[in-house]
Amino acid sequence: MIVAYNVAGGELRQHSYQNLGTTGVYGKWVRVNTIHNASAGTAEIYINGSRKGTMSGSWSGGPNGFYHKYGVYNGSQHRPQAEWRNVKYFRK
């Protein structure tokens, strides 16, 4: 899960913990890519084409530990908006 915080014009963090080194995202299109390696239990995160980190463990839930879900959560007081385009899934 990637969460946007109301810090520095919008700061992205992985699952509310690791800062992904991305600020100023509010009001901008941000490209997010993830590469899940289910057998290794890892997920690599890329923001706008730059690798921001590799996560590991069972934090991701879902069948075999991984799944995709996107939406806007916990932002009712700020009227957040999120849009997605060109969503693609690839499987090896």
State pLDDT tens for residues 10-19: 888 887 677 8
Structural contact between residues 44 and 35, judged by C-beta atoms closer than 8 angstroms: yes
Tens of pLDDT, residue by residue over 18-66, are 788 889 988 888 998 888 887 787 888 899 999 998 887 655 555 555 5
CA atoms 7, 25, 17, 62: torsion sign: positive
What residue segments make up the domains of the chain, in order of their start?
2-65
